[in-house]
Amino acid sequence: MIQTLKGFPGHVVAFLCSGRVTRREYDTILIPAVRAALQAHPKVRLYYEAAPDFSIESSAVWEDFKFGIEHLSRWERFAIVTDVEWIRQTMRAFSFVLPSRLKVFPRTEVAHAREWITAANPE
Angle (nearest 5°) at CA 18 between 12 and 23: 80
53-96 pLDDT per residue, tens: 998 888 887 777 777 767 777 889 999 999 999 888 888 777 76
With a cut of 60, say whether residue 122 has pLDDT above it. no
User: Domain tally for the chain?
Assistant: 1
CATH classification of the domain holding 11 = 3.40.50
CA distance linking residue 69 with residue 75, whole number of Å: 10
Give the global pTM. Answer: 0.88
Is residue 123 in a domain?
no
pLDDT at 68: 74
Note whether residue 97 is domain-resident.
yes
Structural domain boundaries, residue 62? 2-118
